[in-house]
């Protein structure tokens, strides 16, 4: 039995993958959502069973990312170095920042949980690189902008 926390983590990972796929393939959010829900959540793949994801969180992340993308991209740009606007960064990181930004703006999880979850996703995609530290720094900046009251001492 998969616990609720694992299902939320899986939903976040699937959301990053779905957002990447949306950008790469120019498919609609609805088409991508259906594909992931029908063919990824709990599916058998090469002898393994993929994780079940929290469908509600997955849908909310995709919908909120589409709704708030301009705001999220602006927040991300402010957190990035001036010479590296969001359109110049790796598309996987772009998808990750968008999903995390949506959760920071509209989500219920505390910012520190959101940051930790997406840093873990960055580690899954870039196990040998510096990207997880980069993701941590950018998301910390974005979280302080999105929810400043959570960082007051």
Q: C-alpha angle with apex 26: 92 to 6, nearest 5 degrees?
A: 45
Separation of alpha carbons 61 and 36, rounded Å? 13
Q: Please report whether residue 33 resides in a domain.
A: yes
Q: Quote the pLDDT of residue 1.
A: 42
Separation of alpha carbons 12 and 118, rounded Å? 8
Q: Please report whether residue 68 resides in a domain.
A: yes
Q: Residue 25 is part of a domain; what is its CATH number?
A: 1.10.940.10
| 4-25 and 55-79 helices, crossing angle to 10° | 60
Q: Please report whether residue 142 resides in a domain.
A: yes
Q: Please report whether residue 18 resides in a domain.
A: yes
Separation of alpha carbons 58 and 62, rounded Å? 6
Query: C-alpha distances in angstroms, 41 versus 14, 32, 35, 60, 64?
Result: 8, 13, 9, 16, 20
Place of tokens 């969001």: 86
Separation of alpha carbons 16 and 91, rounded Å? 10
Q: Please report whether residue 9 resides in a domain.
A: yes
Q: Quote the pLDDT of residue 47.
A: 76
Q: What is the pLDDT along the chain (153 residues), one digit of tens a residue?
A: 459 899 999 999 999 999 999 999 989 999 999 999 988 887 777 777 778 889 999 999 999 999 999 999 999 999 997 777 788 899 999 999 999 999 999 989 999 999 999 999 999 999 999 999 999 999 999 999 999 888 876
Q: Please report whether residue 112 resides in a domain.
A: yes
Of the candidates 33, 90, 73, the one whose C-alpha atom is nearest the C-alpha of residue 56 is: 33
In total, how many domains does the chain have?
A: 1
Separation of alpha carbons 112 and 135, rounded Å? 13
Q: Quote the pLDDT of residue 44.
A: 76
Q: Please report whether residue 153 resides in a domain.
A: no
CB 54 within 8 A of CB 7: yes
The domain of 9 spans 4-148
Query: C-alpha distances in angstroms, 109 versus 10, 36, 62?
Result: 15, 23, 16
Q: Please report whether residue 37 resides in a domain.
A: yes
């Amino acid at each position: 039995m998969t616990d609720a926390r694992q299902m939320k983590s899986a939903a976040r990972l699937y959301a990053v993958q779905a957002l990447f796929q949306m950008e790469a393939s120019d498919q609609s959010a609805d088409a991508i959502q259906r594909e992931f829900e029908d063919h990824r959540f709990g599916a058998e793949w090469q002898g393994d069973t993929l994780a079940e994801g929290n469908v509600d969180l997955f849908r909310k992340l995709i919908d909120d990312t589409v709704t708030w993308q301009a705001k999220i991209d602006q927040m991300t740009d402010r957190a990035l170095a001036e010479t590296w606007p969001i359109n110049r960064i790796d598309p996987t990181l772009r998808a990750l920042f968008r999903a995390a930004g949506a959760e920071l703006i509209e989500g219920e999880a505390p910012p520190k949980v959101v940051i930790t979850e997406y840093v873990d996703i960055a580690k899954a995609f870039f196990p040998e690189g510096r990207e997880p530290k980069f993701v941590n720094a950018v998301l910390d900046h974005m979280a302080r902008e999105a929810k400043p009251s959570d960082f007051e001492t």
